């Protein structure tokens, strides 16, 4: 009888073990996804651009900023740039609201929409309101010690022509004199 009781107890223990709910450890909560990495670029300064007409002066001043996420184009750009052109002692200028700043190493491209001009500037009659222009910059690391910075300007789009594409400008092909720029790349 003891043998039967032990067998019955063993069978009951086995049945209880099989029938008992199995405690499964819940998976550890997943780590939250990493916050997107945001980086910042900036371009600041003012300089005279090399210009082929000896008695005229072109200057470009800029204070542009951009934030970048994981992609190469900015998620947000802001600031202004101004292009001034002195002809026969009169300074004509146009001011632009930055809509794109891209940077890479010692280079930068800035585009913006025209928001103001000097009184009587020919751009008031020959350009669409808020036309876009682009400026490219080459700012070598030794620019403050006399390294040769360069600048390139797109032409403004005349009335009836398509706008320049955002974030685009020609190569920085003109030398910079009298002044300079400081560039902070996003990397």
Give tens-digit pLDDT for 138-186: 999 875 555 689 999 998 888 888 889 999 999 999 999 889 999 999 8
**β partners of residue 152:** 136
**Most trustworthy range by pLDDT among 11-20, 48-57, 71-80, 93-102:** 93-102
pLDDT of residue 144: 55
Q: 65 pLDDT exceeds 90?
A: yes
Mean pLDDT of the chain: 83
Q: Give me the half-sphere count of Cα atoms (radius 13 Å) on the Cβ side of residue 86.
A: 11
- Identify the CA nearest to 108 among candidates 53, 174, 42: 42
pLDDT of residue 82: 97
CB atoms < 10 A from the CB of 88, how many?
Answer: 6
pLDDT of residue 5: 47
Q: 23 pLDDT exceeds 70?
A: no
Specify the range with the lowest mean pLDDT, choosing from 61-70, 90-99, 122-131, 165-174: 122-131
User: Which carries the bigger pLDDT value, residue 161 or residue 114?
Assistant: 114
CB atoms < 10 A from the CB of 172, how many?
Answer: 22
Prediction pTM value: 0.76
Percent of the chain at pLDDT exceeding 70: 78
């Amino acid at each position: 009888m003891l043998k039967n009781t032990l067998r019955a107890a063993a069978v009951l223990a086995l049945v209880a073990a099989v029938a008992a709910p199995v405690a499964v450890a819940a998976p550890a909560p997943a780590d939250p996804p990493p916050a997107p990495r945001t980086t910042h670029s900036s371009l600041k300064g003012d300089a005279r651009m090399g210009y082929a007409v000896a008695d005229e002066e072109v200057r470009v001043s800029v204070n542009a900023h951009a934030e970048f996420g994981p992609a190469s184009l900015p998620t947000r750009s802001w600031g202004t740039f101004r292009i001034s052109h002195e002809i026969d002692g009169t300074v004509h200028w146009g001011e632009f609201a930055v809509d794109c700043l891209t940077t890479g190493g010692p280079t930068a491209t800035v585009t913006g929409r025209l928001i103001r001009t000097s009184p009587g500037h020919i751009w008031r009659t020959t350009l669409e309101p808020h036309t876009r222009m682009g400026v490219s910059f080459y700012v070598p690391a030794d620019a403050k010690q006399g390294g040769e910075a360069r600048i390139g300007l797109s032409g403004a789009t005349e009335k009836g022509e398509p706008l320049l594409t955002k974030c685009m400008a020609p190569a920085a092909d003109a030398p910079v004199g009298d002044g300079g720029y400081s560039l902070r790349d996003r990397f």
